[in-house]
Amino acid sequence: MNLNSNGFDPTDAPAEADSAAALRELPGIDAAVGLGYVGHKPLLYFRLLVKFRDGHGRNFAPDFCDAAARGDWAEARRLAHTLKSVARTLGALPLGELASRLEEICREQRDAAAATGAPLPRAGDADGLLRAPTEAVIAELATVVSGLKGLDAPAAEDAGDKTPQELLTRLAYLLRSRDTAANDLAIECDQAFGKLGYAAAAGAIVSAVGRYDYEQALHGVLELARELRIAVEG
């Protein structure tokens, strides 16, 4: 790969000028922050942005509203937490802050019901607390997604071309998103990190992913990243 001084490869990524301009113009996203989290790998960053657009951009609002309407505050909190983590990883900091507040409200609703033994309140019962924060998150998410509509993910790289940071960053993103594509990538990581002398750690991650215990798998990824001194957001 022949990267120029800005980290772009004109043969693999969109044209350098177009890529830089596209990143500068993304509403609601600080691309410098997002690129920092992925080790300044533009190809990986573009893929994650497209993945976010096609996943959270389409699914968060209906999934969250459905969970809140059912009074499933544990699920609503999980959805808000996942959005917060992924948004911050990508540099969508305002969205991350709004999602953090929404997560806290969901936690408060769940904990209040647990403390009193009362049935979990549904969205209508918590409407005064929930409506404005939910609308704020959905509006900011729409702003972010609007800027990603014209992005196309670069062609996938061979697993052997991925650095340890790229593998762990990508796997952490998929685990936070509860994306089943994490299962295949975990196997790639098992092979790659096994060769580097981390077979036990990688095997534990694969085992957790195989049980669909994505939280435990993410914990393993972050522990491995710390051991390798790789920056992957927790």
Reported as a single tens digit per residue, the pLDDT across 121-153 is 555 545 567 889 999 999 999 999 999 987 776
Measured distance CA(56)–CA(92) in Å, rounded: 13
Measured distance CA(219)–CA(214) in Å, rounded: 8
Over the stretch 77-129, which tens digit does the pLDDT of each residue have? 989 988 998 899 899 999 999 999 999 999 888 787 666 655 555 555 455 67
Could you tell me which residues come within 8 angstroms of residue 71 by beta carbon, excluding any fewer than 6 positions away?
A: 119, 120, 121, 122, 123, 125
Neighbours of 53 (CB within 10 A): 18
> Distance between the two ends of the chain, CA-based, in angstroms?
29
| High-pLDDT (> 90) share of the chain, % | 30
Determine contact, residues 44/168, Cβ cutoff 8 Å: no
| High-pLDDT (> 70) share of the chain, % | 78
Measured distance CA(57)–CA(112) in Å, rounded: 30
Q: What is the residue extent of each domain of the chain?
A: 1-153, 157-234
Over the stretch 141-192, which tens digit does the pLDDT of each residue have? 999 999 998 777 665 554 456 788 888 988 998 898 888 788 888 888 888 8
- The DSSP-derived string for 167-214 is HHHHHHHHHHTT-THHHHHHHHHHHHHHHTT-HHHHHHHHHHHHTT-H
Measured distance CA(7)–CA(35) in Å, rounded: 10
For the chain, give percent helix, strand, coil, nearest 5: 70, 0, 30
Reduce the DSSP state of residue 8 to 3 states and report it: coil
Strand segments (E) across the chain: none
CB hemisphere CA count around 55 (13 angstroms): 20
Reduce the DSSP state of residue 148 to 3 states and report it: coil
CB hemisphere CA count around 77 (13 angstroms): 12
Could you tell me which residues come within 8 angstroms of residue 45 by beta carbon, excluding any fewer than 6 positions away?
A: 31, 34, 35, 38, 90
Neighbours of 69 (CB within 10 A): 12
